[in-house]
Amino acid sequence: MAPAAPAIQDGFRADLRLALSATNRANTVKTARSRDAIFSFWANFCTPLGVSPCLRDVPDPETKLCYLLVFAIRYRATGRTGKSVRANTVQDALVAVGQGISNLGQPDPRFAPHSTNQHPVLAGFLKQLRSQDNTATRAYPASLTIIRGLYDVLELDHPTQGRCTTMTLNLIIVAFYWLLRPCEYLHGKEDGQSTPFRLCDVQFTANARIYPATDPLLNDVEPASLTHASLTFTDQKNGVRSKQITQRATSDPLLCPIRALARITSHQRLHDAPAETPLHSSYYNNHVWHHVGYNLVTTALRTSAANFCHITGIDPALLSARSLRPGGATAFV
């Protein structure tokens, strides 16, 4: 840059600021905090070993990799909360460490010198960790039979719990079709990288017209005329901001994602819910918004699974709210 004319240098710096600003916007606040917390964990690992967290005092790339591997083994055993974690969580932690070191001006030790590929030793190490993961701890997919069976086992007309149960069922259908993670549709299940979808994130299409879910004109639209619905990503993991995921109405009288989502948002509009209201705040009672949480969904799925175990062969204990995302993906393959 030194030989360049001052005007060219100024233009370069201005464009660089724009690029860095775009990069910062691409990362959610929660993601940045999570990565910072992991790098602090890494720094605490390095201090008693007498090395800098950026490893600038470790010139040999192979030695740097050794530090990374030992950190990974210890992180595998304790995570950040004292509990063992899965291979993918270890890999995410190594990404945070590598990017943190890179941000401090040192080479990312995950990569072989002069290469953009992960070091073969590290790749083999992570592969071995995955093979050791207990398959029973993975999210077991909920089958379509179990989802449909919810109508048989849930007391949707219960005088006191019927509204809660109905909205729990609606959220299950929405999560199943949109392949949502628990943190994206349930109360109290944060993962540091996603926030729940809100009323203002929803749009419907009816009669070739698009309606935001907050639009009171939707109150006059017949549910049968709704043809599409979309969720707009804001702070959801792996989602591109402002990207919309759209589903089409089905002819199924029970399992239509559009009707289920419409029932949730209609109830929210009826009770003047603010636009920022999350979808899990889906039933209003005694002037208070109530939330649907992880345990309600897990209990509903296991109850249905127990009732239809003779058909599906699925052990109810394998299912949880996390089962809807892989279940939906499996059903639509």
Q: How confident is the model at residue 331 (pLDDT cuts 50, 70, 90)?
A: confident
Domains observed in the chain? 6-137 (1.10.150), 144-331 (1.10.443)
Tell me the per-residue pLDDT of 21-77, one tens digit each, with 9 for 90 and over.
555 544 445 566 778 889 999 999 999 999 999 999 998 999 999 999 999 999 999
- pLDDT of the residue at 26: 47
Find where tokens 């063992």 sit. Answer: 84
Q: Helical H runs in 104-200?
A: 120-132, 144-153, 162-178, 182-185
Look up the pTM and report it: 0.65
Among 333, 332, 330, residue whose Cα is nearest residue 142: 330
Cα–Cα distance for residue pair 116/217, rounded to 1 Å: 53
Cα–Cα distance for residue pair 271/196, rounded to 1 Å: 20
Per DSSP, the three-state class of 333 is coil
Find where tokens 């606040």 sit. Answer: 29
- pLDDT of the residue at 180: 92
Tell me the per-residue pLDDT of 212-242, one tens digit each, with 9 for 90 and over.
999 999 999 999 999 999 999 886 655 556 6
Return the higher-pLDDT residue of 7 and 231: 231
Contact 282, 167 (CB under 8 A): yes
Residue 211 has pLDDT above 60, yes or no: yes
Here the contacts of 283-288 (C-beta below 8 Å, separation 24 or greater) are 283/163, 283/164, 283/166, 283/167, 285/163
Tell me the per-residue pLDDT of 274-326, one tens digit each, with 9 for 90 and over.
999 999 997 777 778 889 999 999 999 999 999 999 999 999 999 999 999 99
